[in-house]
Amino acid sequence: MIVINLDVMMAKRKIGLTELAGKVGITLANLSILKNNKAKAVRLETLDAICKALDCQPGDILEYVDDQKEE
């Protein structure tokens, strides 16, 4: 399972949802879906914009977690 740690990076950079949505150019609702780990997919273009806005790498936001270890 891929976990999206967007909320962690946002806290580290001290940036709110509204400000990040404006910088990235996506709706607040879609950014909230990513932040709450409810997204089924993320466009590379969106990931690129998030990484630019937060000055981070994709690996800072995306993490692989073995599903079997959670059980």
Higher pLDDT, 53 or 66: 53
What is the phi/psi pair of residue 2, to 5°?
Answer: -95, 125
Eight-class DSSP state of 42: -
Eight-class DSSP state of 20: H
Strand intervals (E) in the chain: 2-4, 62-64
Task: For 24-45, write each residue's pLDDT tens digit.
Answer: 999 999 999 999 999 999 999 9
Residue 4 forms beta bridges with which residues?
Answer: 62
pTM of the model: 0.87
| Average pLDDT, integer, range 3-28 | 95
Eight-class DSSP state of 26: S
Question: Does the domain at residues 2-60 carry the CATH identifier 3.40.50.300?
Answer: no
Percent of the chain beyond pLDDT 70? 96
Q: How far apart are the C-alpha atoms of 46 and 54, rounded to whole Å?
A: 12
